[in-house]
């Protein structure tokens, strides 16, 4: 075996070992096609910078959300960031990961389905949809609890890097769950800062220290992003760039 093939085989073996240790269920592309009616457009419930999300249903009736990652150069980085964090932790204010698909032609994640969609739809597209201030306050507090767990409730800290209204999902009772861990990084608790390999986050939300690759950041960059989200809830308008940027 030539060196390049040997390296590829070794890498493949390490990936399979890592996936087998997660405990999350593994699905084939065929399995996910059955769940989502072959990824029909009528089942598409969202899309983002790294892929589309489809509503699906298990034979027993359980509703799920299937996130299919786009075939980009960072697809494996995004995939492993999601499962290495969500496959290990559990909290009522974090979205639950049911399983994944890791095949040559498809990388996908299977999450619990959230009936009321994302917070940004409630705030802007539906103009609060009759949601009262007490409920919005509860959503903010629950999101803070999920963020506190990521930062201080586990043996390692997790930096999310992309806290925003679009990454807060709401169930049928408007209980919130943080989602989208594709940019997340694990951080040893005895390390105060981690180097930033590339710009992370969403414009308007990301803290100043995350704007330039090569800088060093702490978990507090998530606190900054959460603060921007609170301004959005209070101001009833979207954060953005230039004159629309809250600061």
Q: What is the pLDDT of residue 1?
A: 46
Residues 94 and 11 in one domain: yes
Domain residues for 240? 119-244
The catalytic site residues sit at 162
What is the residue whose two structure tokens read 């992370």?
200
| 57-73 residue pLDDT tens | 998 899 999 999 987 77
CB contact set of 161 (below 8 Å; sequence gap of 6+) = 183, 184, 185, 200, 201, 206, 210, 221, 222
> How sure is the predictor about 22, in pLDDT bands with cuts at 50, 70 and 90?
low
What is the residue whose two structure tokens read 């979205």?
95
67 is in an annotated binding site: yes
Residues 100 and 196 in one domain: no
CATH number of the domain enclosing 214: 1.10.510.10
CATH number of the domain enclosing 38: 3.30.200.20
- Of 91, 112, 133, the position where a domain reaches its end is 112
Residues 57 and 131 in one domain: no
| 123-143 residue pLDDT tens | 887 655 678 999 999 999 999
Q: Is the pLDDT of residue 5 over 50?
A: no
Residue in 80, 74, 78, 86 with CA at minimum distance from that of residue 111: 86
pTM (2 d.p.): 0.86
Sign of the C-alpha dihedral computed for residues 15, 18, 20 and 25 taken in this order: negative
Residues 125 and 108 in one domain: no
Residues 20 and 108 in one domain: yes
Distance between CA atoms of residues 58 and 79, nearest Å: 22
């Amino acid at each position: 075996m030539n060196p390049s093939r040997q390296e590829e085989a070794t890498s493949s073996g390490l990936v399979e070992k890592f996936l087998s240790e997660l405990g999350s269920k593994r699905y084939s592309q065929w399995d996910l096609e059955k769940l989502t009616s072959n990824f029909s457009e009528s089942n598409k419930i969202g899309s983002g910078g790294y892929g589309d999300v489809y509503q699906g249903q298990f034979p027993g009736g359980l509703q799920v959300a299937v996130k299919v990652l786009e075939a980009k150069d960072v697809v494996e980085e995004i995939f492993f960031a999601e499962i290495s964090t969500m496959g290990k932790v559990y909290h009522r204010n974090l979205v639950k990961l049911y399983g994944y698909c890791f095949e040559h032609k498809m990388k996908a994640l299977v999450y619990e389905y959230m009936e009321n969609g994302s917070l940004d739809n409630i705030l802007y597209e539906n103009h609060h949809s009759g949601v009262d201030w007490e409920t919005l306050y509860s959503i903010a507090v629950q999101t803070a609890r999920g963020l506190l767990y990521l930062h201080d409730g586990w043996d390692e800290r997790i930096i999310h890097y992309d806290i925003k209204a679009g990454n807060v999902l709401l169930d049928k009772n408007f209980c919130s769950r943080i989602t989208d861990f594709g940019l997340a990084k694990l951080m040893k608790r005895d390390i105060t800062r981690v180097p930033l390999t590339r710009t992370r986050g969403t414009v308007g939300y990301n803290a100043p220290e995350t704007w330039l690759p090569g800088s060093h950041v702490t978990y507090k960059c998530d606190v900054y992003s959460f603060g921007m989200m609170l301004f959005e809830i209070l101001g009833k308008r979207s954060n953005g760039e230039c004159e629309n940027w809250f600061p």
